[in-house]
Amino acid sequence: GPLYYSKSKKINHVNMLLISNKAGNTHYTYINNFSRLVSKQISQRNGATHFCDGCINYFRTEQQLKKHQMQDCNHTSTILPTTTLKLDKTGNMRPENLLTFTNFQKQMLLPFVIYADFESILQPLDTAEPDPKKSFTIKTCKHTPYSFCYYIKSSYNDEWSRLETYRGENAAQIFITRLQNDIKNIYREYLLNVRPMEPLSEDELRMYDESRTCFICQNPFDNDSTNPKVKDHCHITGKYRGSAHATCNLNYKIPNFIPVVFHNLS
């Protein structure tokens, strides 16, 4: 919504755009066409889009907009970052009403992803005659899976990736059994034990010594002994990844799940 909404709207109402830069300088400029300014952020559709300047909701017709402004608009306001600071998860002071991304561990690449699909046949069903006086749906066939295929994709080494296929009876049950076995094997072979960090090369040691920011959170290092700079490495390959805060390093863990992505699964 707007930063400030006038309580006395005039016939020739003027909207202003507040522009600011990183130095904190601000400037107001006249908005000649509000719809043209923001419509491309909503849709690539050509044609006029009618925006409510009280809450920035949009409508396809002017009649819908007028009805909304008379009955529904609650004049949502935008609040700029305040000067009141609070300590965030990374230990930095930020404006208390400014949202920032702090779940850096969720940026880690998933080590394994499984992509799966079934093929089915349509088997006819015997159904009872429905009551013609009521609304009804007739079930004529059911999908019976007869084959499946899934691909285990490794994000670290394609030699660990492989394809699994089956065609025959009890496809659904066999799929579950094989998938469970494969996931257990992946966990035991690659995820259960932490691989020690390999010795760093001269270039890696130099980059570590010269680094001034954490490669995970992008915040600078300081002299705080409770959160020192440490070497972060991949627990699967043993490769050095970069210099990080101790807390970032501890939280930057391999996800404890393996996603299975299905075609057309809802």
Q: Mind listing the pLDDT tens digit for each residue in 57-95?
A: 888 888 888 888 777 777 665 666 666 777 776 667 777
Tell whether 180 and 204 lie within a shared domain.
no
Is 21 in the same domain as 125? no
Residues 183 and 222 in one domain: no
% of the chain at pLDDT higher than 70:
91
pTM: 0.61
Question: Worst-scoring range by mean pLDDT, 61-75, 116-130, 173-187?
Answer: 61-75
Nearest by Cα to 78 from 155, 139, 17? 17
- Residue at 8 is within a domain: no
Instruction: Say if residue 158 is in the same domain as residue 61.
Output: no
Judge whether 91 lies within some domain: no
Q: Look over the chain and give the mean of its residue pLDDT values, rounded to a whole number.
A: 85
Name which of 211, 204, 217, 203 is nearest 250 in CA terms: 217
CB neighbours of 36 closer than 8 A, spacing ≥ 6?
none
What is the span of the domain harbouring residue 155? 112-187
In a domain, 204, yes or no: yes
Q: Is 85 contained in some domain?
A: no
| Sign of the dihedral through C-alpha 131, 133, 137, 141 | positive
Q: 10 in a domain, yes or no?
A: no
Q: Pick from 140, 156, 187: which residue ends a domain?
A: 187
Average pLDDT over residues 94-117: 85
Number of structural domains the chain divides into: 3
Q: What is the Cα–Cα distance from 190 to 178, expressed in whole angstroms?
A: 18
CATH code: domain of residue 229: 3.40.1800
Last residue of a domain, one of 187, 209, 239: 187
Examine the domain organization and report whether 70 and 103 are in the same domain.
no
